[in-house]
Amino acid sequence: MSIDDGAAQAARGPLSDLRVVEMGQLLAGPFCGQLLGDFGAEVIKLESPGAGDPMRQWGREKPHGKSLWWPVVARNKKSVTCNLRTEEGQDLARRIIAEADIVVENFRPGTLERWGLDFESLREANPGLVLVRVSGFGQTGPYSPRAGYGSIGEAMGGIRYVTGDPGNAPSRAGISLGDSLAAVFATIGTLVAVHNRTRTGRGQVVDSAIYEAVLAMMESLLPEWAVAGYQRERTGSVLPNVSPSNVYPTASGEMILIAANQDTVFARLAKTMGRPELSDDPRYAGHAARGRNMAELDDVIAAWSAGIETAELLQTLHDNGVPAGRIYTAKDMFEDPHFAARDAIVRLAHPDFGELPMHNAFPKLSETPGAVRHPGPGLGEHNREVYGGLLDLDQAQISALSERGVI
């Protein structure tokens, strides 16, 4: 690759030499496709003719009768309609996959095999293919055939049990956490598999299970039970034995977070409060002591914070090197200068919504950053480009496929 070619590729994105075929729907698989597309991969999304991915209809608010979620999860992708439940549709998918580097799917295990799109068959035509499979319970094991949604994976992976107030039933986060975590791990696995392919020339299967992705976030939960006989429980707004790290009231009637659980940081907090002796008090001197006396220490801090207006309190804490902050809503994010300075929110032109804001591509790379190039496409918007350009079908053939309900 010449220097000019390398610069052009970097401008399109560091993954612009990769072609991804995204199959499946809703969130876990498509979020993996979104992450790859954010960094330049060509993502061809196969959707059912007529309705497409149900994500086109999901979301609470629907201005103009259209989802505000779809433009985000389908950003940077190409939409191609293909009825995978027909032999003709399966043949079209097979031909597109033969020209691809990666396939991402999140059907129930066994579905691709029933359609004749199993990995071994696909690899015969494309030895370097990386097949990324996202599911509730993985591709093997006694639970693999079960239908698996993100909420079930969150429960089985352990996070649901420890989330919420101790006096109430387990809570869930207000987002699709399990699906998103499985997609992030699928993306990591994809990049590892592609890297390995550069050395061996061979593709492989990436198997990302929702419950395992959640389990990977559970810190020392397993050895705590197996070795110490300790079962983590719901603890509301705090983590057991991590203190002080909680929400505290202000004179403005708001709640802010203060996290000063490290010894040196707690000493700074105590000095900021005008109570430097607290850091030497045997009840609070050291991580374990503060953990044992968490409730009492929270009361001391709350009594101090409640007498200071929010803005003044936060500025004082920041000036003294104590981590603290407001609990943000979407409105707060739009008004925050740090979000603006780092371009955390981008705004794109949308045919229905006008200017449409959404979160940017993360993480930031100094030489080859990701980018949001366009919002989610219309259903079948790229049929002619893909079927005509990639598969070399003429307009008559494309029209005939459409009339038969194949695309």
- Residues annotated as catalytic are 179
Joined tokens for residue 210: 């929702």
Joined tokens for residue 84: 């995978």
The vertex-208 CA angle with 37 and 182, nearest 5°, equals: 65
Beta bridge partners of 213: none
208 neighbors 230 (Cβ within 8 angstroms)? no
Q: Could you tell me which of 81, 70, 80, 78 has the C-alpha nearest to residue 350? A: 70
Cα(296)–Cα(260) distance, integer angstroms: 15
Place of tokens 């000036």: 319
Place of tokens 């202000």: 250
- Cis amide linkage into residue 357, ω under 30° from 0: no
Q: Under DSSP, is residue 9 helix (H, G, I), strand (E, B) or coil?
A: helix
202 neighbors 127 (Cβ within 8 angstroms)? yes
Question: Phi/psi at 42 (nearest 5 deg)?
Answer: -80, 110
Cα(16)–Cα(39) distance, integer angstroms: 7
Q: Under DSSP, is residue 135 helix (H, G, I), strand (E, B) or coil?
A: strand
Q: What is the widest separation between alpha-carbon atoms in the chain? A: 83
Burial class (CB in 10 A: 0-12, 13-18, 19+), 57: middle
Contacts of 92 (CB under 8 A, 6+ apart): 82, 387, 391, 401, 406, 407
Burial class (CB in 10 A: 0-12, 13-18, 19+), 246: buried
Beta bridge partners of 132: 104, 206
